[in-house]
Amino acid sequence: MIEPRVFLLPDLGEGLTEAELVSWHVAVGDEIAVDQPIAEVETAKSAVEVPSPYAGIVAELHGRPGETIDVGKPLISVTPLGSASVAAADDAAPSPTQPEVEPAETELGGSVAEPAASHPEAEAYREEEKAGSGNVLIGYGTPGGHGQARRTRAPKTAVALAEPAEAKPAEDDPTLLRTRVPGKLGAVISPLVRRMAREHGVDLGDISGSGDSGLIMRRDVEAALRTAAPAAEPDEAEPEAKRVEAPERPAESREGRDARTGLAIAARTPVRGVRKTVATNMARSRSEIPEATVWVDVDATALVELRQALKANGGEVPGLLAFIARFVTAGLKKYPELNTRIETADDGSQEIVAFDGINLGFAAQTDRGLVVPSVRGAEKLTARELDAEIRRLTQVARDGKATPAELGGGTFTLNNYGVFGVDGSAAIINHPEVGILGVGRIIDKPWVVNGALAVRKVTELTLTFDHRVCDGGTAGGFLRFVADAIENPTSLLADI
């Protein structure tokens, strides 16, 4: 009997460890080809179609629309077609000089990678890459994909059973151990172990893994939970009658009313996808970054008149955001402290990391929530080139087709909240960046010009910055630089 091949949800990149299954493009019993889209998933970064690395008949769909699937968990099982399965069986057959040993099966239908000089989890990942098509996710492929027939079972392994016959937990399965924790951690761990640590508030950076090469296993997290400070025991000398148990407050009554307010609950919306990422990132920014805010009103009349004059001459004219982006990149060159990031080492020491280049992020509102695409190498672009890239990234973000690379990697963020009709906002820094510049709406206001009142086009600029990397002098200098460029745009726009 031909065993189905199990395709695990691949590594999505950018530290993403899970995805929501939006819809299936295939059904059980369908015949599919290599690289045929089988499902649409939504990550915290974007919505992407997942192509199949295998050809054959769909045997099982592991999940329903709306469910969240961890990286490394089964997505779909495919039974190879006749000719492909024969070729795969020949490929998987052991040599005459080597005895055939049945592989150690895992809960995911895979097998333990054969022993080698390298780590077993790395071998397992390489074996899956060899079986892939080279096009696992848009922008994230596996090497060696040429559409050829692949082996339908993992290589035979000779594994010495040194431990008692005990069910091996899925989270210790090497086929799952192939994603890295973003940031300071270098140990490879299972998404399930990572979730367990997150749910119990365990800092993985404080754990020494007991697995090969310091691999963090489920037992390590459980040990950390056992050694955590236990709940205070009641004083044995205290009379039993004096001990008062805190009443348990029901979260919700059976009638569907909120126990705290007494109001009927109209709806419950799971926090996931982009909203979940925004919530987590903003909470982390507020808790970790000692931020400060400075702001200034700016006379944007000259900039508005410049655009109108360019329009009158015909041709494509950059938007106001592109002009301001051009001023921001020039300002960051002069004040590079705001184009940095703070990294914390395992021993608690910190470093300010400076960059040779600017990836300018800009906030874009979409139907899926607020996202921050970034213009790579923004300091090299003219205002027209910035405008074209901002428009392109905004469109792919709103279509839900932006790649994780396009929605990450920013070094400074520009936020044009003036489009919502507001004047100012003390924005939250987009962690792990150290600064964000907000631009309010441009409106007519009375303004003193050469000692006389006049009606001018005025906007408010607001800079929120990480006080660990610079002081008010640097922040104020950068803000004043951008403000002066808006008031006298021709000084910086010779290249437009």
Where are the domains positioned within the chain? 5-159, 191-225, 286-491
- State mean pLDDT over 148-171: 39
Rounded distance, CA 404 to CA 428, Å?
21
Three-state DSSP at 412 gives strand
Name the β-bridge partners of 145.
Answer: none
Class of domain 191-225: few secondary structures
* 55-77 confidence digits (pLDDT tens): 999 999 999 888 888 888 999 99
Same CATH fold assignment for domains 5-159 and 286-491: no
The predicted structure's pLDDT at residue 277: 76
Which CATH class name applies to 286-491? alpha beta
What are the phi and psi torsion angles at 232 (to 5°)?
A: -60, 125
Task: Give me the mean pLDDT over the 44-56 stretch.
Answer: 80
Instruction: Average the pLDDT over 437-461 and give the result.
Output: 96
How far is residue 341's CA from residue 325's CA, in Å, rounded to a whole number? Answer: 20
Whether 25 is a known active-site residue: answer: no
- The domain over range 5-159 is classified in CATH as 2.40.50.100: yes
pLDDT number for residue 228: 65
Question: Residues near 262 by Cβ (< 8 Å), separated by ≥ 6?
Answer: none
Q: What is the pLDDT of residues 252-284, one digit of tens each?
A: 444 588 888 889 999 888 887 777 877 888 898
Name the pLDDT band for 45 (thresholds 50, 70, 90): low
3-state helix vs strand vs coil in the chain, percent to 5: 30, 25, 50
Measured CA angle at 353 (ends 348, 357), to 5 deg: 160
Question: Residue 418: left (phi > 0), alpha (psi -120 to 50), or beta?
Answer: alpha
Catalytic residue among 62, 200, 431, 467: 467
pLDDT for 201 equals 77
Query: Which alpha helices (DSSP H) does 176-217 contain, by range?
Result: 191-199
Where is pLDDT greater, at 207 or 138? 207
Least Cα distance to 222 among 169, 163, 284 occurs for 169
Does the global pTM surpass 0.85?
no
